[in-house]
Structure 1
Amino acid sequence: MDDIRLAALIEAARDQGAHLTTAESCTGGMVSAALTSVPGASDVFERGFVTYSNAAKTELLGVSPETLTRYGAVSEEVALEMAAGARARAGARIAVSVTGIAGPGGSEFKPEGRVCFGLADQRGLHTETVEFGALGRDRVRAAACNHALDLITRSLGL
């Protein structure tokens, strides 16, 4: 997402009194970094969670070990619990979560480039999966970051 759209996102959140938070796995903090690249972001962003391991997802976000075992870390079920947990723990109006396989690797059932997203906001919970394909690790992570920012943008009504 370009600087102008990022600034508009932060301005809209500020105008709406909306606090934002993130729960990131495969993006490793890229969404938080993008948000905080905008001057004044501290008005709407207090914290984000980088939960790369299953233990971190459970300890910091309250993701159920049973959900992780049943569906795996790369699943809409886990993305949903990540977003809901981040929103509750940060006291935010909008939480976005990202969990996926940036590569290299993957499997027949969970291929490289599959990323699951969660959004928790005042309207409820939403999940989706995007198949970015085997673009390479850096490009999958960048695409996932941009998609997460787009989810926040849409939640703000932009």
Structure 2
Amino acid sequence: MSRPLADLPAEPAPPPGVTIRPLRPDDEDDLRLFHRIYDTAFRDTLDHDPLDFARWRELLPSYGKVWDEWFLAEVDGEPAGALQSSDQALERGSGWVRTLSVLPAYRRRGVGEALLRRAFAVYAAKGRTAAGLGVDLANPTAPVTLYRAVGLIEERWTDVYERSVSASRV
């Protein structure tokens, strides 16, 4: 899904009690918090492959270096969500949301929308012309409704089929 950033309205204030701040990548506690939110938020999805913090930390360099585009959200001072950007679309002049993670207790309370709107505003301030993300339609949290609400539209659909075949015994 994607949206142009040329017509991006001013970033609205987040809902009452919601604060969004950049991740501090040099702060181990911040990284641990980000990982905990991400891991917890995706546990109810079908294809989530949990990574312990140490393994996740090792993989960070492969996610890109756009640290000022990673955000943490709190609701009344409690951790609630995280957004991880990726540099995979920079050559097209686009910002890319790699993951949007909202803890179950804070879903449908404006946290995800506030995180996305902050990311879009940062992308636009850097001169990017569009923002995008991929979505798994099998995700039980049904994020497409949120994505459409912030102006993202479908660009293409990819159907993935999986079949399990037992190994033959020789």
**TM-score, length-scaled by structure 2:** 0.29
| Larger helix percent | 1
